Structure 1
Amino acid sequence: MITIKHAAMLSGVALSALSLPAMAQTAAPQAADAPSPNEIVVTAQRRAESVTKVPISITVADGAQLERQQVNTINDLNRIAPSLEIQAAPGQNTGGGGAIRGIGTQTFSAGAVASVGVVVDQVSQGNANISNLFDVARVEVLKGPQGTLFGLTTSAGVINITTNKPEFDKISGRVRTELSNAGTAGSGSGNQVVQGVINVPLASNMAVRVSAFTNLLQGPDYNTATSKYARTDTWGLRGRLRWEPTDRLSVNIAGDYSDTRVADGGNFITFVKAASGYVANLASCGVTAAEGNRNFCTTNHYVDHQYTGGGSLQLDYQADPFTVTSVTSYRKSLESGEGAAHDVFRIDPLSLHVINQGVHRPLNLFTQELRVANSGSHLIDYTAGLFYSSQVQSRDSEALTVNAEVAPNFYFPVVNSGTGAFHVSDTSMALFAQTTIHAAEKLRLIAGGRYTWDGLKLDTFAGPITGTANSHAGLDVNNFSWKLGGQYDLARKTMVYATVARGFKGGQITTPVAASPYVVQPEIPTSYELGLKSTILGGWVLDADLFYEKIKNFQAQSCITVNSAISCTTSNINGVKSRGAEIDLYGKVTKNLSLNTGFIWAKATYPKGYIGTDGVNIGDTQLAYAPEYKFTLSGEYTHRLTDSVNGFFAADTVWKSRVRYEANAISDSTFRPHWTVGGRVGVRTANDRLTAAIFVRNLFNVHEPVLMQSGYPDSGSANVGALYGPQSFRTVGLSLDGKF
C-alpha cells in the first residue's frame, strides 16, 4: 500500500522535477536543428525529433511500408524489424507477447505484464492492447529498457504506434481491401480485410477522424470432420477528435473497440509428430502428423469471444517555456465463451480428450500521466512527470477434465482439476525525469531516472468472486530505474552515442493448475549500448549498434505435459544475457525507391548450468523463441508508365536462424533456418487516388510455427504439436485501394 513515506518521497521528487523548467531557462539557450521535411520524425523521447538525433536504437516503419508489407495486425510487426519477434499464442496475457533482442515474456499467468510494451498515441495498452492496425502514421520499435520515459512494462523495449491525426483543412476518405480465398491460386488460407477511414473538419480548429475494419480469416487450420476451415472473424473501429481551441491548448479524444469471434479453437495446436500408438487414430479421420499439418477432426462445435476497447483524453498546453501534457485513459478487455483451448487435441477418435470448461476473463486498465517538457532548444532539455496505473483482472473458476477411452466410445474422467476463481490487481505509481545537457556544441550528456512503487495482489475464491476471499498473495515493490549516457556529433548528419540503463518489470503471481499461487519476483535488466546514426544517400537512415544486457530474475515460462494436460509454470532465472550487434537502414534511397533492411546477431542465452524441462543442461544455449540471427528486407520501386499511371513492384523477405520453442534440448520442437518471401506488383494513378495490385505472402510455403510443444499429448519427444498461423502458409490475393 502507499504509505506517508511513499507519498513524501513522490512529492519531493515531483517538486524537484517540476523545478527543472526554471533551472533550464537560466542557462543560455542553444539553437536546435528543426527536422527538415525529408527527415524521419519520431516520438521516442516523448517529443517530436529527427530519428538521427535520438540516442536509442530504433527501427521505424511508416504507413506506406506497413501497407506494402501487409502489416494488418500486431502479430505481423515481426516482419518490419530484425530485433522484434512476436509469438502471440491463444490465452497469453502479456499484451502481445513480443520479444526484442531475444528478451520477452511468454506466459499464461493472469496479471503478468509484458517485457515489450505496446503504446498507441501515447497510451500504454497494458494487457488490453489493440490487435489490428490501420490508418497508422508510424510504428517505432525502441530497443532495450525504456522504463525511464515509458514505464514498467517496457524492460525489453517499446512498440510505439502513432495513428494519423485528424486534419482541419479537408474532407477525405479511403477504402482499402486485401482479398484472398483458401485454395485459390495456391493460398493455404483465406483472408478478407476491408478497411475504411473518413476525416471530417467540424470547424477551422476541430476535426474528427473515424476508421473501421473487418478482418475475416479462414484457416489455415482445417477440420476434416466438417470439411470447413477454422474461422476467426474480427471487426472494429477507432475514432479520434482533435480540437485546438487556442494557439496554446490542444485536445485529443480517442476511442476504439474490437470484437473477435473464434470458432472451434481457430488456429490452435495440431499434431506434427505422433508415436505409433496415435498414428491410426489420426489417420482414421484424415490427419497425418507431419511438418505443416494443419488438419484436425472434431464435431465438437464451440465459440470464443474476445472484446477489447477503450478511450483516452490528451491535453497539451504550451506554458512557455514548457509544455504540460496530461494523458488519461481507460481500457477494457473480456474473453468469454468456451475458450480457445476448450477441446485441446480436437481429434475425436483419440483415446484421450482434454476438455477445458468455459472462461470469463474481464480486465480493466486505468492510466493517468502528467508530464512537462521543454521545446528541446535549450541548454538543458528535459521531460519530467508522474504516472499512475491500475490494472485489474478477474477469472471465474476454470475446470479441466482428462477423459480416457476405457471401452469403444465410452470415456472415463481420469483427471478433474483446474483453477479456482481469482481476482488480480496491479497498481503502480511512478515519478520520472530525463534530461539532456548540451555540454558543448557537439556533445550532449543524458541522465534520467524513474522511481516506481508497484503493488500486486491476488485473491482466490472457492466459488464466484464475491464475499470473503479464500486466500491472499501479494507483492509490494519500490524500485529506482535509471539511464545515463552521452552523444557526440561526428558530422552534421552523423552521431554516435553510448548509454547504460537499468530497467524494471513488475513481478507476477502465478496461478498454476491444481496448485497454490506463488510469487515471481520483478525482472531487473541492465543494458549497455553503443550506437551510430547517420543520414546517407540524401535520406536513407543508418542505425547501427552494439549491445550487452544482463537480467536479474528473468521471468521464464516452462510448459510440460502432465496427465496429457499441458502444465505451464513461471519462475525467475538469474543470469540470462543478450549481447550482439544490429544494423538497420530505412527510408528513401531515391525518389522512386524506398528500401528498408536490417540484420541482427543477438546471442540471448540461459545461464551456465541451467537445466531444461527434459532434465538436460541447456546452459549457455539460445533462449526459446529467440533466433540468434535475423535479416529483413522490404522495398518498393515505382516506375512511370503513362502521364497518369505508375507501375510498382514491391518485395519483402525475412531470414531467421534456427528457432527453439521450448526450454529443453528436444530438436523436434525447433524449426530450421529459413527464408520467408513475399511481394506485390500493381499500378496506381499518378495522384495516388487508386491502386490495384496482386500480392503473395510466404511465396515458397515455408511452414514456420507460432509455437511448438513436445509431449503432445504425452511421451516427451515422441509426440509434438505445433500452432500455425496464416503467415505459416502461402497466401495469394488481390488488393484494392481508393482515396478521395
Structure 2
Amino acid sequence: MNIRKVALLSGIALSTLSAPAIAQGAGAPAEEGTIAASSSDIIVTAQRRAEKVTEVPISITVASAAQLERQQVNTVNDLARIAPSLEIQSAPGQNTGGGGSIRGIGTLTFSPGAVASVGVVVDQVSQGNANISDLFDIARVEVLKGPQGTLFGLTTSAGVINITTNAPEFGEFSARARTELSNAGTAGAKYGNQVVQGVINVPLASNAAARISGVANLRQGVNRNATTGDYNDNDRYGVRGRLLWEPTDRLTVNLIGDYAQTRSENGGDFFTFVKTSGPGSFLGGAGFDAVGITGRLASCGVTAREGNRDYCSDNAQVGKSRSYGGSLQVDYAADPFTLTSITSLRKADETGYGAASDVFRGSPLELQVANDPVDRDLSLFTQEFRVSSASGSPIEYTVGAFYSNQKQTRIPETVRVTLVPVPGVVIPIVTSTTPALTIRDESLAFFGQATAHVTDSFRLIGGVRYTTDRLSVNTASSNSETVLDVAKWSWRLGAQYDLAPTMMTYATVSRGFKGGQIAVPAVGDPSVVQPEIPTSYEAGLKATLFGGWVADLSVFYMKIQNFQAQQCTVDGNGIISCIQTNIDGVKTRGAELNFFGKVSENLSLNTGFIYAKATYPGGFLGTDGTNIGGTQLANAPRYKFTLSGEYQVPVGENFAGFLSVDTVWKSRVRYEANSVADTTFRPHWLVGGRVGVRTQDERYTVSVFVRNLFNVHEPSLMQSDFPYSSTTPGGAVEGNIGAIYGSQSFRNVGISLDARF
C-alpha cells in the first residue's frame, strides 16, 4: 500500500485546478492543414495530408482523445484495446520499435539491429527503436493496416501506429489536469497505479503559442517479491514541449521536444513460474535436484499456478532507461503546392539491471541464471523533405526524400550460470559474454504517391518508393564488421469509387519492405537475416452512418517473403537461447469490420471484429520438432473483438452522468512456435468501464473505473522448459512454464479526476 504517494499525487493534481481551462477543438493542429469539413467529420493524416477518414483508401481504426481517455489508454501497450487488428507484444527487451503486430504480423526479437514491422510515428516523426512508452496530451491515434512503405518507409511492412499530439492554441491561456488513482488491495485492485497528467497552453503572440504537457505514471506491481512482501515499483515520468509559430500566412513552424525516464525494480514485469516439476528432477545438464522446483519455491512462499505474480529474490536490483529528442517541422505554402521539412534527433539509453538480470528470480533454486548490468545507447537522426499538392486538385500528389541514421552501442554483456547446492556454495557452470557492439543502420529513400481524379466519383492511386539500406554490426573483440546492403522498391496501386456521397469502396495491391537483421549470438559469428518483403491485397468499403458514425469494412490477403521470426528455446544449462531466422511463405488473410465515432449526441461507440488467419507455411517445424505448418502464428489471435462506448444523460441543468464500457474478446493465443499446450491461453474476455458525472461544460469530471473486472490472467509472454525440461528418475518429462504478466493481467479499480479551467 502506498497511501502517501496517492495523497501526494492527488494534491499535485488538485493544485492545478486554479488554472484556466483548455478549449477543445479550437482549430486543427498545424500539421493537418486546412480542408473543408463538417464538425462531425473525422480527419486523419494517413497519407501525409489532412483528409476525411472516409475518403482514404486504407483500412484505418481511429481513436480520438476522448476515446483514449475513457479507455485509460496511457501507454503504447494499451493501444491493443482500441483496434481488433492490433496486438502489442510488451515482453521486456523484445519490443522492437514498439512491439506491435497488425493482422498477426509483427516483430518480436532480441536482435539489436532489428527494425519493427509496425512503425510508430509521433507527429510525423518515426520513432525507430527509440521507443516511446507513455501517451499523454494526445489528439488522435490512427492504426493503419497493411504495408505503408510508400509514404512511411522501411519499418512499416505490416502497418503504422500514427500518433498526433495536441498542438498549441493561439489566443488563450489554458490548463488541465487529470488523474487516475488506485491502490493495491483497495476496492479489489490487485496492484496500485497513480497516473497524473497535466498540460498548460501559453499564448506568446497573436501568431505563436507554446504547450507544455507532462505525466507521472507510478505503478506498484504487478509482480511481488514474496521474500520482502513488497510490490515491484515501476515509475515513469515524461514531459513534452511544443512551440507553434506562424510568422506569415504561408509559413508554419512546429518545434517539439520531449523527455522520458523509467525506473523499475527487480526486473519490473518479468517471468514468474506458472507450472513447475516436483521432487527428484534432473537439472538439465547441471545435476540432480532431490527437492524440485515446486518445493524450493514453496520454501519462500511462491506457488506456481496460473496468475502467479510472486517471485522470491534476495537481490535488490534497479534498471533505468531514458529517451528524449526533438523535431523541427517547417511548412511553406508555395501555391500550388506545400513544401515540408521535418528534422528530428532522438536518443535513448538503458543502464543498470534490466528485466533479464535475475532470470528465474528464485533464490532457493539450485540453478541460477543472471546477467550483468547493461549499458546501451541509441541515437536516431532523420530528415524528410516533401512536396504536396493542394487537396482537391485533379491530381493530388506527395513526393519527397527521407534519410535516417540509427546507431546503437552496447558494452560486453555477460550471462552467468551457477549451481547453488547449499546456501553460500556457488559452483560456476557456464559464463558467456557477447562482445561490445556498434550497430549502424543508414537508410536513404525517394518516394512519391499520387491520386488521379478520373471523374468526380472515380480515382486511381499509384505510389512508389526506392529505399537503400545499409546495416552494419562492428564487433569490438575481433574488430570485425558484418554488413548488409539492400536496395528495394516498394509500390502501391489501386482504385476507389464513390458509391454515394457518404459511401466509398476501394481496392489496392502493395509491396512493402522491412530491412534485414544481423543476429549476434553469444558464441559464433554474426548471421544475416534477410529483409522482409510482403505483398498485400486489400479491398474495402467505408461509409458514414447517422451523420458521423464511420463504418470501415475490409478484406485482405498478404503473403510474406522472408518473414523475420525469432524462435526461443532453453538449453541444458537453463539459458534462454533465441535464434533469429527467415520463414518464407507466411500468410495472413481475413476480414475486419470497424465502427467508430458518434452514433448520436449522447452516444459514442467504437467497436470492431477481425478474423485474421495468420499461418506458418506447410511443413514448418516448431521449436519442439513438431510439424506446425498451416497453424496460427505465435502471438496472433485468429479472432478478436473490441468495444468501447460511452452513453451520457443530463442530470439537472448543470451536470451529466455517464457510463463507459471497454471490452476485448480474443480467441486462443499461442505464445511459442511449437505444439506445447501449456504455453497457450484460452479464449477470454477482458471487461472494464467507468461510471461518473461531469459538468455540462465538461470542465470537471469525476468517475470510478475498473479494468479487467473479472481478473483474467492474460499473459504478455510464456516460455516452456523454464528453466529446463525436468526428467524424473522414472523417465517422465515434466514441463516447467514461465509467464510474464503485465498490468492487463490483473484487476485494477480506482478513481479518476479531471479538471479544465
TM > 0.5 fold call: yes
Partner in structure 2 of residue 465 of structure 1? none
Give the counterpart letter for 1:420 in structure 2: P
Match of 1:8 in 2: none
| TM-aligned CA deviation for residue 505 of structure 1 | 0.1
Partner residue in 1 for 2:493: 484
Among 421, 434, 444, the residue aligned to 2:449: 434
Find the residue that maps to 1:67 and give its secondary structure.
Answer: helix
Pairwise CA distance, 1:545: 0.5
- Mapped partners of 1:638, 1:518: distance in 2: 57
Match of 2:340 in 1: 325
- The one-letter code matched in structure 2 to 1:225 is T
- Residue 670 of structure 1 deviates from its aligned partner by 0.4
Displacement of 1:513 in angstroms is 2.4
Contact 1:93 1:110 in 2 (8 A): no
Alignment partner, residue 367 of structure 2: 352
Residue type of the partner of 2:47?
Q
Alignment of 1:607-618 (within 5 A): 607-618=617-628
Correspondence for 1:225: 227
Post-superposition CA distance 1:582-619 (Å, at most 9, x none)? 00000000100000000000000000000000000000
Is the aligned partner of 1:547 residue 2:556? yes
Q: Does 1:733 align with 2:753?
A: no
- Residues in 2 aligned to 1:127 and 1:69: alpha-carbon distance in whole angstroms: 26
Task: Give, in angstroms, the shift of residue 93 of structure 1.
Answer: 5.2
Partner of 1:161: 163
Match of 1:207 in 2: 209
Pairwise mapping of residues 591-630 of structure 1 onto structure 2 (< 5 A)? 591-630=601-640
* Partners of 2:613 and 2:638 within 8 A in 1: yes
Q: Which moved more, 1:80-89 or 1:91-100?
A: 91-100
* Residues 147-296 of structure 1: pairs in structure 2 closer than 5 A: 147-276=149-278, 277-296=292-311
Give the deviation of 1:408 after TM superposition. 4.6
In structure 2, C-alpha distance between the alignment counterparts of 1:331 and 1:152, rounded to whole Å: 18
Letter of the aligned partner of 1:69 in structure 2? Q
Matched, 1:722 2:739: yes
Distance in 2 of aligned mates of 1:33 and 1:153: 29
Contact (CA 8 Å) 1:661, 1:670: kept in 2 or not?
yes
How far off its partner does 1:671 sit?
0.3
Asked if the contact 1:93/1:112 (under 8 Å) is kept, the reply is: no
Aligned to 1:396: 411
Structure 1 gap segments, 5+ residues each: 1-31, 463-468
Cα distance in 1 for partners of 2:166, 2:332 equals: 21
2:650: which partner in 1? 640
- CA distance in 1 between counterparts of 2:293 and 2:351 reads 32
So what's the TM-score if we normalise by structure 1? 0.94
What does the per-residue CA deviation read over 1:177-215, in whole Å, with 9 as the maximum and x for residues that have no partner?
A: 000011111111100000100000000000000001100
Distance in 1 (CA, whole Å) between partners of 2:211 and 2:145 is 31
Aligned to 2:721: 711
Report the secondary structure of 1:496's partner residue: strand
Q: Please point out which of 499, 502, 513 is paired with 2:508.
A: 499
Classify 1:237/1:408 alpha carbon distance in 2 versus 1 (closer, same or farther; 3 Å). Answer: closer
1:608-642: CA deviation from partner (whole Å, max 9, x where unpaired) = 00000000000000000000000000000001001
Structure 2: unaligned runs, 5 residues or longer: 1-33, 279-291, 727-733
- Distance in 1 of aligned mates of 2:198 and 2:421: 55
**Separation in structure 2 between the aligned mates of residue 479 and residue 140 of structure 1, nearest angstrom:** 27
SS at match of 2:599: coil
Residue 460 of structure 1 aligns with an amino acid whose one-letter code is T
Match of 2:132 among 130, 133, 139: 130
Query: What is the distance in 2 between the residues matched to 1:412 and 1:181?
Result: 42
Q: Report the CA distance between 1:687 and its aligned residue.
A: 0.8
Q: Is the 1:238–1:255 Cα contact (8 Å) retained in structure 2?
A: yes
- How far residue 36 of structure 1 moved from its aligned partner, in angstroms, is 1.7
Q: 1: CA distance between counterparts of 2:95 and 2:539?
A: 33
Cα distance in 1 for residues equivalent to 2:524 and 2:349: 25
Measure how far apart 1:33 and its partner are. Answer: 8.2
1:671 to 661, 677, 681: 681
Task: Count residues with an aligned counterpart.
Answer: 703
Which deviates the most, 609-618 or 126-135?
126-135
Amino acid at match of 2:376: R
Name the aligned partner's letter for residue 184 of structure 2. Answer: A
Q: Which amino acid aligns with 1:719?
A: N
1:484 corresponds to which letter in structure 2? Answer: L
Q: Which residue, 570, 574, 586 being the options, matches 1:564?
A: 574
Code of the aligned partner of 2:450:
T
> Is contact 2:35–2:51 with CA below 8 Å preserved after alignment?
no
Match of 2:313 in 1: 298
Does 2:482 match 1:473? yes
* Alignment counterpart, residue 665 of structure 2, candidates 655, 660, 667: 655
> Partners of 2:524 and 2:699 in 1: how far apart?
59
Structure 1 residue 224: Cα displacement: 0.7
2:466 to 447, 451, 457: 451
| Residue 34 of structure 1: how far off its partner (Å) | 2.9
Following the alignment from structure 2 to structure 1, what is the Cα–Cα distance between the partners of residues 423 and 64?
A: 59
- The alignment status of 1:370 with 2:385, answered yes or no, reads yes
Matched, 1:114 2:123: no
Match of 2:322 in 1: 307
Task: Judge conservation of contact 2:89–2:95 (CA < 8 Å) in 1.
Answer: no
Once residues 225 and 634 of structure 1 are traced to their aligned partners in structure 2, the CA distance between those partners, rounded to angstroms, is: 40
Partner secondary structure for residue 98 of structure 2 = coil
Check if 1:61 corresponds to 2:63: yes
- Separation in 2, partners of 1:138, 1:608: 40
SS of the counterpart of 1:185?
Answer: coil
For 2:545 and 2:433, locate their aligned partners in 1 and report how far apart those are by CA, in whole Å. Answer: 58
Q: 2:709 is matched with which residue? A: 699
- Aligned to 1:201, what secondary structure does the other structure show? strand
Whole-Å separation in 2 of the counterparts to 1:108 and 1:33:
44
Evaluate the alpha carbon distance shift between residue 510 and residue 93 of structure 1 in structure 2; reply closer, same or farther with a 3 A threshold: farther
Q: Provide the rounded CA distance (Å) in 1 between the counterparts of 2:253 and 2:483.
A: 38
- Contact preservation (8 Å) 1:253, 1:311: yes
Structure 1 distance, partners of 2:353, 2:79, is 29
The corresponding residue for 2:31 is: none
Residue of structure 2 in register with 1:48 after alignment: 50
